[in-house]
């Protein structure tokens, strides 16, 4: 893994919505090249681009029909090579999204597989004569009937995303060969889509839920990742992050412990389910703040103690915008976005910043289902109607939960299509693009954008951000999250107020080591008076550093 991993910050790009060089409805790779100076100024080390391979776009590129070719909608291989070179010149590495739990049913392997039960590629997929009760994560049965052969194939996601059969050694070799192709081109890392779902329990048993127990962190997943490490990662400096669906702490330690030679780090999603009432995503819910702290604290301490490494994130292309979700998208948008930024970037792990988060983009308040494009949201809407909700009620849920919340075009300036393109974009722009945009944020030294830039720089300056242990001082407090990060030579104190009401807080005795002095590194309000008791303002955030007067 790369040496800089513990100081690095990754910026996630959803190319379809980032920037259109060709002034079309969708973004493209040259659009990313156009914005590299901005990303270098921000200080990020890696760009993770979500898939831009050939794809019928049923799931916006997570349905790959050719892993070796770039979808013409995004540009050409020459454009990609230019992006790699231009990014490298600015000290930025490009990370690719590898989607190998499934392919599109338009992939050549699946088309071959359809030719008959004895075709070589048939066994690249998972076929059964009878379906079991496993459910697709996008709704409905996880099995689709294929009339020619009279069998069912497994699809944990959309019907057009057929699951690959990792039990087959030749399939594994085909995947590794493809990954080596991109590694040889000079990419700096890989993000591995739902990689903890690749090993299915061969019994294909049923349970009383949706079947996830039989394929989440499945029986051979660590073996497969170790093989991937040997075949693709070994001898190369690659940053690798696995997206882990419904995983456990123990597994994530194993996935990311350097001695096990699997991955550099893992994404888990437990902290983003604190607004799922009874675990149900498609229901309106307020978020459980104490639960959020508990989950993040458990992972901070558990990964630190176990030698694993966390990927830190509030946002991605599958999540609503964090300022709408855990902050205040109205009056306190700027301060609450800064508070959320500091709270996350103070933790141990590698922070991921999703396009637009750095300017506090919010959910766009979708009004009509016709405005949405996401397959999961469109399915969910139909299911909500079928469950008895009326259109307005169903739309209220979609407005809060949809993945399209984060997929609206990036807001670059206050021009007609926000500098994203000169054509009507594929998904509508948020209404606030006139004043929430990069140009405005660059011009305002007090903006959320400048705050993120300082946080990114701090990570490179203070080793305690990478190494320090974690302790939460307010586990049960209804609005305060106060934690320390401590190493032998330094300590950080991060105070985050999740709320608009006035709040006072006094630091307990003994937290600050005897004889250490303090400096305020960052705040979202002018510096408070000196002392260890604060009258906190709405969504207040304070980041202090302590250090011995004479180094130990």
Active site residues: 193, 243
DSSP three-state, residue 268: coil
Beta strand residue intervals within 125-257, DSSP E: 127-128, 143-146, 151-154, 161-163, 189-192, 239-243
- Residues 92-121 interacting with ligand NOJ (rule: CB under 6 A): 99
Q: Per CB under 6 A, does 190 bind ligand NOJ?
A: no
- Residues 317-336 interacting with ligand NOJ (rule: CB under 6 A): 317-318
For the bound state, the minimum distance from the C-beta of residue 195 to ligand NOJ, rounded and expressed in Å, comes to 10
Tell me the residue number closest to ligand NOJ, measured at CB: 62
Per-position x/- string for 353-392, each x denoting binding to ligand NOJ as judged by CB under 6 A, each - no binding? ----------------------------------------
Sign of the Cα pseudo-torsion (9, 15, 21, 23, in order): negative
- Residues 133-172 interacting with ligand NOJ (rule: CB under 6 A): 157
DSSP codes of every residue in 195-226: GGGS---TT----SSSSGGGTTT-TTHHHHHH
Q: Whole-angstrom Cα distance, residue 10 to residue 373?
A: 26
Q: Per CB under 6 A, does 49 bind ligand NOJ?
A: no
Q: Per CB under 6 A, does 214 bind ligand NOJ?
A: no
Distance of CA 480 to the CA centre of its chain: 25
Beta bridge partners of 496: 481, 541
For the bound state, the minimum distance from the C-beta of residue 52 to ligand NOJ, rounded and expressed in Å, comes to 13
For the bound state, the minimum distance from the C-beta of residue 192 to ligand NOJ, rounded and expressed in Å, comes to 10
DSSP three-state, residue 249: helix
Report the residue number, 269 or 534, with the smaller CB distance to ligand NOJ: 269
Diameter over CA atoms, the chain: 78
CA distances from 297 to 245, 331, 344, 491 (A): 19, 29, 12, 17
- 119: its two tokens: 């075709």
- 289: its two tokens: 């703040």
Q: Per CB under 6 A, does 194 bind ligand NOJ?
A: yes
Distance of CA 212 to the CA centre of its chain: 21
Q: Per CB under 6 A, does 59 bind ligand NOJ?
A: yes
Place of tokens 């959910």: 363
For the bound state, the minimum distance from the C-beta of residue 197 to ligand NOJ, rounded and expressed in Å, comes to 9
Report the residue number, 87 or 375, with the smaller CB distance to ligand NOJ: 375
Report the residue number, 275 or 318, with the smaller CB distance to ligand NOJ: 318
Given candidates 52, 62, 143, 215, which one binds ligand NOJ under the rule CB under 6 A? 62
Distance of CA 257 to the CA centre of its chain: 20
Report the residue number, 144 or 339, with the smaller CB distance to ligand NOJ: 144
For the bound state, the minimum distance from the C-beta of residue 437 to ligand NOJ, rounded and expressed in Å, comes to 25
Which residues of the chain form contacts with ligand NOJ (CB under 6 A)?
Answer: 59, 62, 99, 157, 193-194, 243, 317-318
């Amino acid at each position: 893994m790369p040496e800089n991993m513990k100081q690095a910050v990754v910026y996630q790009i959803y190319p379809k919505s980032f920037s259109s060089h060709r002034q079309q409805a969708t973004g493209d790779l040259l659009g990313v090249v156009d914005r590299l100076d901005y990303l270098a100024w921000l200080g990020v080390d890696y760009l993770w681009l979500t898939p831009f391979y050939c794809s019928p776009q049923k799931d916006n590129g997570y349905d790959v029909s050719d892993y070796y070719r770039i979808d013409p909608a995004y540009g050409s291989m020459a454009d990609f090579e230019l992006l790699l070179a231009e990014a490298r010149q600015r000290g930025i590495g490009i990370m690719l999204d590898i989607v190998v739990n499934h392919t599109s049913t338009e992939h050549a392997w699946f088309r071959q597989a359809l030719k008959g039960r004895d075709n070589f590629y048939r066994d690249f997929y998972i076929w059964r004569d009878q379906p079991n009760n496993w459910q697709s994560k996008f709704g409905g049965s996880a099995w689709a009937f294929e009339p020619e052969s009279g069998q069912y194939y497994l699809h944990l996601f959309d019907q057009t995303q057929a699951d690959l059969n990792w039990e087959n050694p030749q399939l594994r070799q085909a995947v590794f060969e493809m990954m080596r192709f991109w590694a040889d081109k000079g990419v700096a890392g890989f993000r591995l889509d739902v990689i903890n779902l690749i090993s299915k329990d061969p019994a294909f048993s049923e349970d009383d839920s949706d079947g996830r127990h039989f394929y989440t962190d499945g029986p051979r997943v660590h073996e497969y990742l170790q093989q991937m490490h040997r075949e693709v990662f070994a001898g190369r400096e690659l940053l690798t992050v696995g997206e882990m669906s419904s995983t456990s702490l123990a597994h994530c330690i194993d996935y990311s412990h350097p001695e096990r030679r699997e991955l550099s780090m893992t994404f888990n999603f437990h902290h983003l389910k604190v607004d799922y009432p009874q675990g149900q995503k498609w229901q309106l819910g307020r978020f459980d703040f104490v639960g959020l702290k508990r989950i993040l604290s458990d992972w901070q301490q558990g990964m630190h103690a176990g030698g694993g490494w966390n990927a830190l994130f509030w946002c991605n292309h599958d999540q609503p915008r964090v300022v709408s979700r855990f902050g205040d998208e109205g009056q306190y948008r700027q301060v609450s976005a800064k508070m959320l930024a500091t709270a996350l970037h103070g933790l141990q792990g590698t922070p991921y910043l999703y396009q637009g988060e750095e300017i506090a983009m919010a959910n766009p308040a979708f009004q009509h289902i016709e405005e949405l494009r996401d397959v999961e949201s469109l399915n969910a809407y139909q299911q909500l109607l079928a469950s008895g909700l009326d259109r307005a009620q169903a739309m209220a849920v979609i407005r809060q939960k949809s993945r399209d919340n984060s997929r609206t075009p990036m807001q670059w300036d206050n021009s007609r299509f926000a500098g994203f393109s000169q054509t009507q974009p594929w998904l509508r722009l948020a209404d606030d693009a006139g004043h929430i945009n990069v140009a405005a944020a660059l011009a305002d030294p007090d903006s959320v954008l400048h705050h993120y830039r300082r946080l990114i720089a701090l990570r490179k300056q203070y080793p305690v951000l990478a190494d320090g242990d974690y302790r939460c001082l307010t586990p049960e407090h209804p609005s305060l999250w106060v934690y320390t990060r401590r190493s032998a030579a330094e300590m950080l104190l991060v105070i985050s107020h999740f709320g608009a009401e006035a709040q006072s807080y006094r630091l307990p005795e003994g937290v600050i080591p005897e004889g250490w002095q303090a400096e305020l590194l960052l705040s979202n309000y002018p510096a408070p008076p000196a002392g260890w008791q604060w009258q906190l303002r709405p969504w207040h955030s304070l980041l202090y550093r302590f250090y011995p007067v004479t180094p130990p």
